[in-house]
């Protein structure tokens, strides 16, 4: 029997026996909990498709060992809001019709959630700086920036 850990995921508590303590958080979320996001993009912490909030901080679940997230509060896209009660960031991205394939959106949305929380009046340069490093292959960048500005310029 491996190490025992507990994760709070989108408000629910889950216990795991970690036979392999190196297993990245991503595989617990996807394979053990059956969540449809985050996504596997690179497994190298280079793209952001696997991003979740760990105690409020956007982190790459593809490289974060699940054991390092023991007792943490984890929020995925699905935990941000619902169609009836969307998170403002979700609503802004819907209103802006951001994204094409959308496979990358975990990184952008989770980073946006942290950004508008920490810098509600973020400038264009601060928005670009916060997002730098995230990948979007379809070229959604313009609508992503506009979506965030719906919040930062209204705040």
Q: Are the C-beta atoms of residues 82 and 121 closer than 8 Å to each other?
A: no
Task: Return the HEC string of 74-117.
Answer: EECHHHHCCCCCCCHHHHHHHHHCCCCCCCCHHHHHHHHHHHHH
Stretch that binds another protein, among 1-9, 51-59, 114-122, 131-139 (CB under 8 A): 131-139
42 binds another protein (CB under 8 A): yes
> Could you give phi then psi for residue 3, rounded to 5 degrees?
-70, 140
43 binds another protein (CB under 8 A): yes
36 binds another protein (CB under 8 A): yes
Stretch that binds another protein, among 1-9, 53-61, 88-96, 113-121 (CB under 8 A): 88-96
- Report the alpha-carbon distance of residue 50 to residue 38 in Å, rounded: 4
- Report the alpha-carbon distance of residue 149 to residue 25 in Å, rounded: 31
Residue where the block lists tokens 């889950």: 14
3 binds another protein (CB under 8 A): no
Nearer to another protein, 43 or 70 (CB): 43
Nearer to another protein, 64 or 77 (CB): 77
65 binds another protein (CB under 8 A): no
**Where is 9: in which H helix or E strand?**
strand 3-9
Q: Which residues bind another protein (CB under 8 A)?
A: 20, 23-24, 27, 30-31, 34-37, 39-44, 46-47, 49, 76-78, 80-83, 86, 90, 93-94, 97-105, 109, 124, 128-129, 131-145
């Amino acid at each position: 029997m491996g190490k025992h850990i507990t994760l709070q995921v989108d408000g629910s508590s889950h216990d795991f026996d970690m036979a392999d303590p190196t297993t990245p958080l991503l595989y617990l979320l996807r394979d053990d909990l059956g969540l449809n996001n985050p996504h596997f993009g690179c497994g190298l912490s280079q793209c952001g498709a696997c991003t979740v909030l760990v105690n409020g901080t956007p982190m790459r679940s593809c490289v974060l060992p699940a054991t390092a997230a023991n007792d943490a509060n984890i929020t995925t896209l699905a935990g941000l809001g619902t169609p009836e009660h969307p998170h403002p960031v979700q609503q802004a991205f819907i209103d802006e019709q951001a994204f094409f394939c959308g496979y990358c959106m975990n990184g952008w949305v989770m980073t946006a959630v942290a950004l508008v929380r920490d810098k509600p009046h973020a400038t264009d340069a601060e928005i670009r700086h916060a997002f730098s490093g995230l990948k979007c292959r379809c070229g959604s960048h313009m609508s992503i920036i506009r979506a965030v500005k719906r919040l930062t310029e209204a705040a």
